[in-house]
Every structure is written in C-alpha cells, then in structure tokens.
Amino acid sequence: MKRLAVYCGSATPADPRYMELAREVGSTLAQQGIGVVYGGGRLGLMGAIASSALEAGGEVIGVIPEALVRGEVANHDCQLTVVKTMHERKAAFTDLSDGFLVLPGGVGTMDELWEAVSWAQLGYHAKPVGILNALGFYDGLLAFNRHMAEVGFVRPAHQGIILAEAELSLLLDRMRAHEPPRTIVAMDPTTL
C-alpha cells in the first residue's frame, strides 16, 4: 500500500483522545512510507492526520471541493487539489489510493465509508476498506453491519469487506493481506 485514503471528521471532539489518535495515525503512516490522501482541510481530525504525517516527512495529498476551501480552511502545506464537487472528491480518493482507512467521524465520514464498501461490492474497486475502531467508536456501526448481514441484506461474499481492528498495526496488516471479494457484477444474476 503506497497511499491510503483516510476518512475522518473535520470536527475536534471534546475528548482529546480522538485528536491524539489522528496525530498518531498520521505519523505512523508516514513512518511506514504510506502516503495520505484526505479531505484537504486543516481542522479537526482531518487536519491532525495531515499535519502529523507532514511533520514525519510523509506524502500528503488533499482533495477539497471549491465550496469548502474557505469553510474547511484548506491546507496549502500539502499537495492540494481543488475539485468542483463532492463526487469528484470521492472519485479522486479512489483513484489516488490503494485502500481506505476510516477513523472516527460524522456524516461525511459515513458517506465516504459506505460508498467505498458499496463500490467494493459492485466491483468498481478491489481495494481494502479498514475501520480503525479505536475507543470503541464504531462498535454500534459494526453491530449494525452484522445485523444487515444476518437479515440478508449483505451477501455472504461481501460480509468481509469491512476490516475492523482497534489497533492500527493489526488493521494495516489485514489491509495488506486483503483479498477482494467476488463482486456483484461477476455473480450469476439468478443467484442474487
């Protein structure tokens, strides 16, 4: 993995452990020679990832829509690409990265996560999707994903798309060993 799209919040939670986590992830990725592709802002976890990766000598590529350049305080310290829409932003994340690493975040992070998972199911990419479930942040989401599978809304072939670990080193190991699932477009339509 040469680059990971890192999805996380642009907010700064009151609990300082989230910002500490983001800084640790940014510096660890840089130390391992893994570039960061992220939302291009300076605020919140997003900004902490970028600044710590840059401080550790890592590659950081920010992709930000024109409309958010001022609102998210665009990070001109990294290689910054300004695009017109959120759709272009997410397409760039996919094109520029070798996988997706999801840290705690809000609605935008969820949008990015589920699109990466959906695209993996469909076969639009064959890249690993990893959730860093630090501090148990994603316990509820992972339980809901299991529930969707139990009810039958996530096919057995796709139940392993989301890789989740509480520790970054374990998650990165699993992401490196990722084997893409059989995609919906490759399946027999009579068995869907």
Measured CA to CA, the distance from residue 114 to residue 162 in angstroms comes to 10
* Distance from C-alpha of 106 to C-alpha of 102, rounded to nearest angstrom: 11
Name residues whose C-beta falls within 8 Å of residue 192's C-beta, 6 or more positions apart in sequence.
Answer: 155, 184
182, part of any domain: no
| The pLDDT of residue 191 | 64
Q: Which helix (H) or strand (E) holds 102?
A: strand 100-102
CA dist 58 and 73 (Å) reads 21
What total of structural domains would you count in the chain? 1
pLDDT for res 73: 84
Residue 123 lies in a domain: yes
Q: Which domain holds residue 161?
A: 3-177
CA of 18: how far to CAs of 3, 9, 91, 142, 185, in Å? Answer: 22, 10, 27, 19, 38
Domain membership of residue 157 (yes or no) is: yes
8 Å CB contact between 3 and 36: yes
Query: Does residue 190 lie within any of the structural domains?
Result: no
Is residue 54 in a domain?
yes
Instruction: Please report the pLDDT score of residue 70 as a whole number.
Output: 75
163 domain-assigned: yes
Question: Does residue 184 lie in a domain region?
Answer: no
- Please give the span between the terminal C-alpha atoms of the chain, in angstroms, as a whole number: 32
> Phi and psi of 182, rounded to 5°?
-70, 125
Q: Which sign does the torsion angle of CA 107, 111, 116, 118 carry?
A: positive
- Domain assignment present for residue 88? The answer is yes
Cβ-count burial 128-149 (b if 16+ within 10 Å, e if not): bbbbbbbeebbeebeeebeeee
Read off the amino acid at residue 46: M
Distance, CA of 43 to CA of 55 (rounded, Å): 16
Q: What CATH code is carried by the domain that includes residue 86?
A: 3.40.50.450
Taking only the tens of pLDDT, the chain with its 192 residues reads 999 999 999 999 999 999 999 999 999 999 999 999 999 999 999 999 999 999 999 999 999 999 888 766 899 999 999 999 999 999 999 999 999 999 999 999 999 999 999 999 999 999 999 999 999 999 999 999 999 999 999 999 999 999 999 999 999 999 999 999 888 877 666 666
